[in-house]
Structure 1
Amino acid sequence: MRLLLAALMAFSSAAPAAPAPPTLSLSPPTGPLPVGVTTTYLRDDSRADPWVPSRRRELMVSLWYPAASKVTATAPYVTPRESELILQGLHRTEFPGDALSTVRTNAGPDARPGPGRHPLVVLSPGFSLPRSSLTGLAEDLASRGYVVAGIDHAYESFAVTFPDGRVATCLVCDTDDYAGVARGRAADVSFVLDRLLDRGSAWRSLIDPRRIAMGGHSIGGAAAVAAMQADRRIAAGFDLDGSLFVPPAGLDRPFLLLGTESDHLPGGDHWWDEGWPQLTGWKRWVTVAGTGHFSFIDYPELADQVGGVEPGMLSGARSTQITSAYAAAFLDRHLRHLPRPLLDGPSPRFPEVTFSHLG
């Protein structure tokens, strides 16, 4: 994806060269609940992989959830090999290859789940990026009482490690078929929902099947549109600075667009002006001053810990706070039917945020 690759290059040149600190860390979740995380491997025997047709479609999924008690150890962010491949893909070869594997997360690996059934949120990362890039958002939502499923779409990421040790790299990063990628991800999402909600699934007892949402960053946002069009189980969706490669025609359920200031420009890169009238349900178009394409995922917060905040840009910690607050308010409103005035207009808590349109 040319737009994302351009953003990758901008990200890689923004922070000055410096050795990575011994430990990087994600912001603590803001909700009251401790968080657990586990990883599961899924294979769709009914479908060939769109990029490697000789193989069945294989997916790695991380599940974050409210834990029964405070966690004492935290899960790794990525493996050293994944870190190396991600940093190479981001052109950050001046840092130690294992730098991202030192990131301290906040979720306990395989922690015992807490009681109750929870709304489910599916997350899809940006093109070439791994599911781990949305860890901060996933942890925060889980701390607020959501189960969150982050999907790695094989061969669309710099690095995906399977249980047998195979590491799939990005085979299709030069494709121009962005709508095809988004629709393929929609098929991945429906398959994951089938497996999580299956009668034999260990997760069935933790998930309320009537309260499901999906969100994504970059092309993951386009995938949220495609998935909602294909699967009525998804009640609400959000797009974090992603181009609407799949027009949202006929999408009559709640949808949130959250992105950079440039997204409101007519004819802008993300085509939100064209897609906006096609969203016929509840909708909001929210922009955040001082942000770039990567501001809605983990990496700017980690980069700031190495080289400081880039002049003129919102800090990674602040953009993380804003992303989590607005995503959670949206989900609370539409999956839990709770009043969330944050979505009704400007807030003194977040002066960086502008409502470009109210639906």
Structure 2
Amino acid sequence: MRGREWHTEHDGVTESLPVLHMSALETVVVTSALALVAARWLPRRIRRRTSVGASVLVFVSGVALVWSSVRWQMMPVLAGAALLLPFAVAAELRARSGRPSRGTRWWAVAPASLACLCLIAVGPAAAWALPVPDFPALSGPFAVGTRVVQWTDADRPEHATRDKDDRRAVVVQLWYPARESPPDARRASYLGRTDREADVVSDALADYAGVPGFLLDGLTRARTRAVADAPVAHGDGRFPVVLFSPGLGGVRTQNSAWAQELASHGYVVAALDHPYDSAAVVLADGRTVRTKVTATGDADRDEALAAKWTAVRAADLSFVLTQLDRVARGEIPGPVSGGMDTSRVTVAGHSVGGGAALQAARQDSRFDSVIDLDGFPHDPDAEPFPQPVLALTQDVRGDIDPDYIPRLTHVLSLSSATSYRLTVPGAAHLTFTDAPLYLPPVESLIGSRGRTEGPRLTAAASLAFLETTLRDQPDNLAAALAAYGDLTVHAPRGGT
């Protein structure tokens, strides 16, 4: 919904926002700090008790918060409390010594109280605007496991380096249907296998976005719904596969909510980090590879670069499918060996990753269908291809990007299967990623669909498409997709 009304879903329950996204300890610190401000304005008979109680509580909880690794959002709260505490302590010492209390005019106290109140209010506001992402509950019948692997393509040189012996390496994170883990099993970190990797990736994403690193420190604290290395679930047959390529400068985990939801419904999702393209890739040997992808500002030059980056990504996707097929056949070790059906595969991506998915499908007939999440096709040699496509787009006005929809429509018309373009009302480019879970709810950034509605809708529409293209479900796909936005059906040439 638009404006200030937002909705989120937790375990099937819809609730209204704002939600402050603060821990119990943070809530205690804020509440006691507010009580300390309010104590000065209470009737004299209860002022002292309130001031003493609030002072003790804010001191103890503040020390505990700092000891447990305080978030930057709480620093203004602690600063406001620190300004108030000396006055509260001084007043209590005077009272205990029997010295008369020195009265202060209200108009002299009001500015200081207001300043401290503003400092304290910054904390909850910042926690609401930039929260630690809380991943929605999974709706499928399976729990979800995850594991990260790295594969090197011995047949392909790494063109981003000058070392002629350097081969192209790709880091892949798998989300898969898993057996239920014990209740105390630790859920996997969002951004990396280790705290160091999470810090490196978070800093790289902030650098790429041009914002201070501390603004995204909530990402390093986030835990997903998946459990690392959980045992693979037993299903009826093997699980279909979905490959995913992130956006330009994005990382393999940027669509974790989407990937986990698909895995909970019986799909193996393999998301790629593209070295020298993704914001940061931490390799198995400990090296960190930062992005070398930058725009020049020249439209023709940038389009040529985008076509080059897209081609590299398309080759990465085909290589990873080859490796997954080897895992499925038991030729190389892998976390879902024997559980994947690599004869049923969809290739997907967001932004430039969506363009790479379209190009990979055209070049590699092993892909059965394509999901393009608001991605511009950059393939300069677009030709007819046999796979159906689901393209989810924001409502792009022609004066903002006049080439996008015509170019996408042309590519969809080249498919010899029925394809679908779903325009999602209220969506922005990042609506189709995890970004709504942790960025400020600003319409130009994440759209107007709230914290969880964008990721939920993206997964629901993707599942409807996957059930039809990979599992041959007889449902009316057009009717199912139309429930999520404005649908345009692209019938194959010669079709109706």
TM-score (norm 2): 0.64
- Find 1:161's aligned residue among 242, 263, 282: 282
User: What is the SS of the residue equivalent to 2:188?
Assistant: coil
**Amino acid across the alignment from 1:61:** V
Of 169, 174, 195, the residue aligned with 1:63 is 174
CA distance in 1, matches of 2:486, 2:293: 35
Q: Percent identity?
A: 32
Q: Give the one of 178, 190, 198 matched to 2:318.
A: 190
Match of residue 223, structure 1, among 348, 353, 356: 356
Deviation at 1:329, TM superposition (A): 0.7
Deviation string 1:298-338 (CA, Å, 9 cap, x unpaired) is: 012222xxx44548722131111110011011011000001
Return the offset for 1:173: 2.6
Give the conservation status (yes or no) of the 8 Å contact 1:127–1:173. Answer: no
Cα gap change, 1:339/1:263 in structure 2, threshold over 3 Å: closer, same or farther?
Answer: farther
Distance in 1 between the 2:132 and 2:421 partners? 36
Q: Deviations over 1:122-144 (max 9, x none)?
A: 00000110011011111010000
Counterparts of 1:111-122 in structure 2, within 5 Å, are 111-116=230-235, 117-122=238-243
Check whether the contact 2:441–2:451 (CA below 8 A) recurs between aligned residues.
no
Q: Secondary structure at the match of 2:203?
A: helix
What is the match of residue 28 of structure 1?
Answer: 137
Unaligned runs of 5+ in 2: 1-124, 192-197, 297-301, 492-496
Structure 1 pair 264–344 and aligned structure 2 pair: CA distance change class (3 A): farther
Runs of 4 or more, structure 1, over 6 Å off, are: 263-266
Contact 1:37 1:109 in 2 (8 A): yes
Identify if the C-alpha distance between structure 1 residues 251 and 264 changes in structure 2 by more than 3 Å, giving closer, same or farther.
farther
Output the CA distance in 2 between the equivalents of 1:261 and 1:49. 37
1:55-84 deviation digits (Å, cap 9, x = unpaired): 211111000000012362211111112111
- On the 8 A contact 1:80/1:97 being kept in 2, the answer is no
Report the equivalent of 1:292: 428
2:277 is equivalent to residue 141 of structure 1:
no
Q: State the Cα distance separating 1:18 from its structure 2 match.
A: 2.8
**Structure-1 residue corresponding to 2:126:** 18
Structure 2 CA distance, aligned partners of 1:32 and 1:151?
Answer: 25
- TM-aligned CA deviation for residue 37 of structure 1: 0.1
Secondary structure of 2:404's partner?
coil
**CA distance in structure 1 between the aligned counterparts of 2:435 and 2:376, rounded to whole angstroms:** 20
Task: Report the Cα distance in structure 2 between the residues aligned to 1:281 and 1:225, rounded to whole angstroms.
Answer: 14
Amino acid corresponding to residue 66 of structure 1 in structure 2 = P
RMSD across aligned positions (CA): 2.4
1:174-253 alignment, distance < 5 Å? 174=295, 176=302, 177-198=305-326, 199=329, 200-201=331-332, 202=334, 203-246=336-379, 248-253=382-387
The answer for the alignment partner of 1:42 in structure 2 is 151
Q: Any idea what the Cα deviations from partners look like across 1:215-250, whole Å, max 9, x if unmatched?
A: 000011111111111211111111000001116421
Task: Give the drift of 1:269.
Answer: 2.9
Structure 1: which amino acid aligns with 2:214?
Answer: F
**TM-score normalised to structure 1 length:** 0.87
Check the 8 A contact 2:393/2:424 in 1, yes or no: yes
Is the alpha carbon distance of 1:21 and 1:260 closer, same or farther for their aligned partners in structure 2, counting shifts above 3 Å? closer
SS across alignment from 1:227: helix
More helix by share: 2
Considering Cα pairs closer than 8 Å and 6+ residues apart, tell me whether 1 or 2 has the greater RCO.
Answer: 1
Tell me, yes or no, if the aligned pair for 2:190 and 2:253 is still in contact at 8 Å. yes
Taking the aligned partners of 1:257 and 1:214, their CA distance within structure 2 comes to 12
Superposition deviation, residue 345 in structure 1: 6.1
Name stretches of at least 5 consecutive residues in structure 1 with no aligned partner. 1-16
- SS of residue paired to 2:423: strand
Query: Closer, same or farther in 2 for the Cα pair 1:68/1:53, shift >3 Å?
Result: farther
> What's the offset of the Cα at 1:279?
2.2
Q: Which has the larger radius of gyration?
A: 2
State the distance in 2 between where 1:149 and 1:308 align: 29
Relative to structure 1, is the Cα distance of residues 347 and 196 closer, same or farther in structure 2, using a 3 angstrom cutoff? closer
